Structure 1
Amino acid sequence: MTGVDSTLAYIDQGSFLGLRALGRGPLAQYGWVYEHPVDLDGLRRFHHNLGRGLLGRRIERSALPFGRDHWVAWTGPDDLDLAETPRPFDGILDWFDEQLRIPIDPEAGPSWRLAVQPLIEGGAAVTLIGSHSVCDGLALNLAIKQAASGETWDLGYPPPNARTRGQALRQDAAEFVRAVPDFAKAIAAAARLAKSSLGEFKSSAGRSTPPSKIDDTALVTVPSMVAYFDEDQWQSRMESLGGTSNSLFAGIAAALGQVFGRVDDDGKVRLQFPVSERTEGDTRANALSGMTVMIDPAGVTTSLQGVRAELKRSLAALSESTFDLLGPVALAPLIPPGLARGLEGMALGAGAPVGCSNLGKLGAPVNRPDGTDADYLLLRQIESRTTPEILDRLGGTLFLASGQVNGLVSVSVAAWRPGGPNTKELLTGPVFQVFSDFGLTPTKVL
C-alpha cells in the first residue's frame, strides 16, 4: 500500500487536544474470556499484527504550537503483558478494571496494549485497550478483525523524529497556510452552531472541569457489569415487542436512564449514539459523528414501536445535524487548552445524556484473538484518569455498549450517580430489574 498523508484529520486533532487539555480521555476496551486453554503463540501473532494495522501508530507533535500534529509509525509494546499468577474466574471483571488504570498515551506510548490473565479454573482473560485518539470503536474492531485474520496494513507513516526541526517548521507552516480556507468555513459554522445552541451551551457549560492536576491517588473506575444473552432469546424479545436489535438496546438504555434519574423536564431520556462514517481505506482514528435520540421511557418494556420510529427519524435527519456539529472541527488546532476545557460540558450535551454504542453483529474473527473462539466477548468505553470529583461535576455518567458474536449478545453497563454511593453491588440490582422488565434473563454475568 502506498503511503498516506500523516497529518491528523481535524476530528482526530480535536480528540488529542481535548485529551491534553483535560488530562484524561476515553479508552476503548475489548475483552475475551476463554474457558479453555489459550494459544499464547497465537496471541503473540495477533499482537504482532495489531502493530501493523490501524493501531500501528502514535502521535508526534507539530513543530508549531498552532499546527496540526502528525502520525508516526509505532508497532506497539515489545510483547503482550502476561500475568504470572492465575486468578479465579469469579470477579474477573475486577481484572479488566485494573487494566484500564494502567497508563495509555497516544503520544508518549503505549497508545494501546494487550494483556493476558491466566485463570485458576483453566483458560484465560485477554484484553485490548486503546486510546480513543488512535482508534474509535469500529476502527478498533477493524484492527482486531484484520489482525486475527493474519492481515497487516502498511499505512506508510514515517518513523518517529524522521523530520529535522527545519523541515518540520517549513512543512507545518505550509500546511497551516493551506488550511486557512478551512478555518474561514469553520468560523462560519461555529457561529451558526453557537446561535442555534446558545441555551444548551449555557445549561451545560457549568459542568466543565476547571484546570487542575488530577490526584492519582483518587482515581476510580466507573462501576460496571457485563451481561450475556442467548441470541435466540434476544431475537424473540425484540420481535415480540415490535422492535429491532438496535431499538431493544435503545429501549434498555432509556429504561436505565429513567432508573438512574437521567431524564429531562418532560420525562424523556437523551440517548447519544456514535454514527460511523468510516469508508473503505479510511485511516482516521475517529471517523464518526453523533446522533441524539429523545426517548420516552414509559411503555418501552411493552412496545418498542415508538423507540424504533424515533431512531428512524433521527437517522433521517442525521446529515444536517452532522454538518452542524462537525463544521467547526477545523478550528481544533487553534483552540487553547483553557477553552477546550470550557467546551467539555457542551460536548457532553445538555441535561444528563446516556451514552450508547451498539456495534451489532461482529465478524467471527473479532472473537478469535488466539485463533479460537472465546467464550465471552466484552466491549466497553471507559473514561481514563477520572476521579469522583470530576464525575460528580460532570453530572455522573451512564454508558451502554453492545455487540453480538458466537451466539451471544453482550451488554455492558457503566454508571456513576453524582454524590454516590457508587459500587458494582448497587449497580447490578437496578440493571437486573430492567432486564427482567424486558423479559430478558442473562445466561452469564461478569
Structure 2
Amino acid sequence: MDRLGVVDEIFLRTHRGLGTPIALQGLWRTVDRVEPALLHRIHGALRPGPLGRRVIRSRVPGARRAWQPNVRAHPLDFMESTLPLDELLPWADTLGAGLDPEFGPAWRLAARWLADGGSVVALTCSHALADARGLVHAVDAALREVVDGAAAAHAVSADAGRPEAEIEAGDARSRCARESEWADAFRQWSTVVGGTIRALRHGIPERPAPEEPVRAGADELRVHGAVVQFRADEWDRVAGEQGGTANSLFIHLVATLLWDIGFPLPAIAASLPVDTRDEPRVDNDLAMTEIVVDRADTPATLRKKARAAYEHRMSSPGGMPEQLLQVIPDRWAHALAKGAGERDILCSNIGTLPDSLRTIGGHPCVGVAARAIHPGLTAARLPRTRLSGYLCRSGDGYILSLIGLDPGIESGSALAELAVHAASRLGLDGHPW
C-alpha cells in the first residue's frame, strides 16, 4: 500500500490547523451549458479513480501513515440557476469547505451555468491528496474514461452497491494485505537515526530565524483571487524578445505585480515549486527552491537565477533527515517545519495541460485555470506569502491565476486590473475572467 511522503504529511497537518490550509482547484469554462447527466458521469469516473482515497494511521510508532481506497464522495454540487460572471471566483472560493483527507471525502466536483451562456466546472481537492500535476493526472484519467464511454460502468462500482459494513470489511482486508508496518517503521527509524548522527557531527544545528517582514494590517483577513488569460503566442514572443522563457516572464510579472500593490522592500523572495515525479501519479511529488528578485531583474536575468536555483532545492535545517518530521508528534513536526517554503511570493508553473482537459465531454473550453485556495484561513494562520501565482497553458492560451493575501489588495477585480496593467507594460494583452 502507498504511504504518505514528507510533503503529504505537511499538508495533512495544515488540514488539522497546523499551518495555512490549502486546497487545489481546477476551473473549466465552457462555451455552452454542460448537461447534468455528463457531470454525473464525470463524478462517477472520479470516485474509483486516484483521488478516491483517504489517510489511515499506523499502529506502529515510526511507521508512516498510508493511503486506503475510499469510494465515498461528496455529491455532485450543481444548481441550474445562472451564476453572474462577477460571482464565478467568489463561488469557487467556497468549494474547499468540508474536505477531509482522513475521515471523509477529500475532493468535490461542482458546476454552475454562467450568465454568458457557458458553464464553469470546478474540481477541488485537499492538498494532502495531490499536488497540481497529480490533480491534472486524475482529471485526465477521468475525462478520458468518459470520452471512451467507460465511465458509466465505473459509476456503479462494486463498492457502491454493497452495504457500508461490507465496504469496511474490505478495507480491513486491505490493511492486512499491505506491507508490514514494522518493516516500514524499521526503515524510517534507521534513516532518521543514521541521518541525525551524520548531521550532528557538524554540531547541533540552529533553527533558522524566520525572515518574515512585518505585515501592516495582518489582523484583517482579506483573500482575493483573479484569473487573467493571455494568448500563448504573444506570451512566448514577449518572453523570447526579452531573453527569457515563459517561466521567467511569469516570475517577473508576479514580482512586478507585488511591487505595484505596494510591497515596500527592494527585493522579493520567490518560492518556486519543482515537479520531481518521474511518472504520472497522484501524489505530492514536489520540492521547493527559491530566488531573490531585484527591481533591476528582467526575464533574462530571472531565467539564469531560476536555472541555478533548480539545482539547489530547499532542504531540512542543519542537514537533518526530513523523515524526522514523520516520526515525531505532529505539533513538534509543525514547529520544526513552520513556514517551510514560504516566501514573499509563490510562482507555481504547472505547465502544459493534456489535450483531454481542453473539453468537458463534447463541450469546448474557452479557458482552464489551476490554482490553490485557502478554506478556513484565519488571520492568525496567514502565511508569509503575500501573492501566489499559478500558470498553466491550455491550447493556445496561458492562464494566470492569482491569490492575493496582501492587505494592499482591495478586491479580486482590483487585483485583476493591476495584473492586466502590469502585463501591458511588458507588452502583454490580458483578459480577466
Instruction: Give the TM-score normalised by the residue count of structure 1.
Output: 0.81
Q: Quick one: which of 417, 424, 442 aligns to 2:412?
A: 424
Alpha-carbon distance in structure 2 between the residues aligned to 1:305 and 1:297: 13
Report if aligned partners of 2:132, 2:370 keep a CA contact under 8 Å in 1. no
Structure 2 residue aligned with 1:211: none
Mean CA deviation greater in 132-141 or 336-345: 336-345
State the 1:224 CA deviation: 1.3
Alpha-carbon distance in structure 1 between the residues aligned to 2:202 and 2:126: 28
Structure 2 residue aligned with 1:408: 397
Q: Quick one: which of 89, 104, 108 aligns to 1:109?
A: 104
2:312 is equivalent to residue 314 of structure 1 = no
Q: Quick one: which of 40, 51, 56 aligns to 1:55?
A: 51
Structure 2 residue aligned with 1:26: 22
Structure 2 residue aligned with 1:383: 374
Report if aligned partners of 1:402, 1:412 keep a CA contact under 8 Å in 2. yes
Structure 1 residue aligned with 2:162: none
Report if aligned partners of 2:370, 2:391 keep a CA contact under 8 Å in 1. yes
Alpha-carbon distance in structure 2 between the residues aligned to 1:192 and 1:127: 50
Structure 2 residue aligned with 1:275: 274
Structure 1 residue aligned with 2:71: 75
**Equivalences for residues 224-263 of structure 1 within 5 A:** 224-260=225-261, 262=263
Q: Closer, same or farther in 2 for the Cα pair 1:205/1:219, shift >3 Å?
A: closer
Alpha-carbon distance in structure 1 between the residues aligned to 2:316 and 2:189: 19
Q: Closer, same or farther in 2 for the Cα pair 1:289/1:31, shift >3 Å?
A: same
Q: Closer, same or farther in 2 for the Cα pair 1:362/1:221, shift >3 Å?
A: farther
Q: Which amino acid aligns with 1:250?
A: I
2:308 is equivalent to residue 291 of structure 1 = no
Report if aligned partners of 2:63, 2:188 keep a CA contact under 8 Å in 1. no
State the 1:413 CA deviation: 1.4
Report if aligned partners of 1:36, 1:122 keep a CA contact under 8 Å in 2. yes
Secondary structure class of the residue paired with 2:172: coil
Structure 1 residue aligned with 2:355: 364
Structure 1 residue aligned with 2:210: 203
2:324 is equivalent to residue 335 of structure 1 = no
Report if aligned partners of 1:61, 1:70 keep a CA contact under 8 Å in 2. yes
Report if aligned partners of 2:390, 2:400 keep a CA contact under 8 Å in 1. yes
Report if aligned partners of 2:109, 2:121 keep a CA contact under 8 Å in 1. yes
2:344 is equivalent to residue 353 of structure 1 = yes
Mean CA deviation greater in 420-429 or 39-48: 420-429
Per-residue deviation, residues 46-89 of structure 1 (Å, max 9, x unmatched): 22222233212111222356542221111342642112422223
Q: Which amino acid aligns with 2:344?
A: P
Per-residue deviation, residues 1-54 of structure 1 (Å, max 9, x unmatched): xxxx23323432343234325175211100011221214333333222222332
Alpha-carbon distance in structure 2 between the residues aligned to 1:221 and 1:128: 23
Structure 2 residue aligned with 1:215: none
Secondary structure class of the residue paired with 1:298: coil
State the 1:423 CA deviation: 2.6
Alpha-carbon distance in structure 2 between the residues aligned to 1:176 and 1:15: 21
Q: Closer, same or farther in 2 for the Cα pair 1:422/1:270, shift >3 Å?
A: same
Report if aligned partners of 2:370, 2:390 keep a CA contact under 8 Å in 1. yes
Alpha-carbon distance in structure 2 between the residues aligned to 1:193 and 1:224: 45
Structure 2 residue aligned with 1:213: none
Structure 1 residue aligned with 2:136: 141
Segments of 5+ residues of structure 1 without an aligned counterpart are 208-217
Report if aligned partners of 2:191, 2:321 keep a CA contact under 8 Å in 1. no
Secondary structure class of the residue paired with 2:364: coil
Q: Closer, same or farther in 2 for the Cα pair 1:168/1:219, shift >3 Å?
A: farther
State the 1:276 CA deviation: 0.9
Structure 2 residue aligned with 1:212: none
Alpha-carbon distance in structure 1 between the residues aligned to 2:9 and 2:103: 16
State the 1:261 CA deviation: 5.1
Q: Closer, same or farther in 2 for the Cα pair 1:322/1:421, shift >3 Å?
A: closer
Report if aligned partners of 1:25, 1:384 keep a CA contact under 8 Å in 2. yes
Secondary structure class of the residue paired with 2:292: strand
Per-residue deviation, residues 147-188 of structure 1 (Å, max 9, x unmatched): 11118999xxx9656338x96999534532342212224435
Instruction: Give the TM-score normalised by the residue count of structure 2.
Output: 0.83
Q: Closer, same or farther in 2 for the Cα pair 1:191/1:18, shift >3 Å?
A: farther
State the 1:205 CA deviation: 8.4
Q: Which amino acid aligns with 1:381?
A: A
Report if aligned partners of 1:262, 1:353 keep a CA contact under 8 Å in 2. no
Alpha-carbon distance in structure 2 between the residues aligned to 1:288 and 1:123: 34
Per-residue deviation, residues 231-271 of structure 1 (Å, max 9, x unmatched): 2221221122121111111111221233345576xx22211
Segments of 5+ residues of structure 2 without an aligned counterpart are 155-165
Secondary structure class of the residue paired with 2:121: strand
Per-residue deviation, residues 372-398 of structure 1 (Å, max 9, x unmatched): 32112121112221023432xx34521
Secondary structure class of the residue paired with 1:85: strand
Report if aligned partners of 2:95, 2:108 keep a CA contact under 8 Å in 1. no
Structure 2 residue aligned with 1:16: 12
Report if aligned partners of 1:34, 1:123 keep a CA contact under 8 Å in 2. yes
Structure 2 residue aligned with 1:437: 425
Q: Closer, same or farther in 2 for the Cα pair 1:137/1:272, shift >3 Å?
A: same
2:83 is equivalent to residue 87 of structure 1 = yes
In angstroms, what is the RMSD of aligned CA positions? 3.6
Q: Which amino acid aligns with 2:424?
A: S
State the aligned residue count.
413
State the identity %.
25
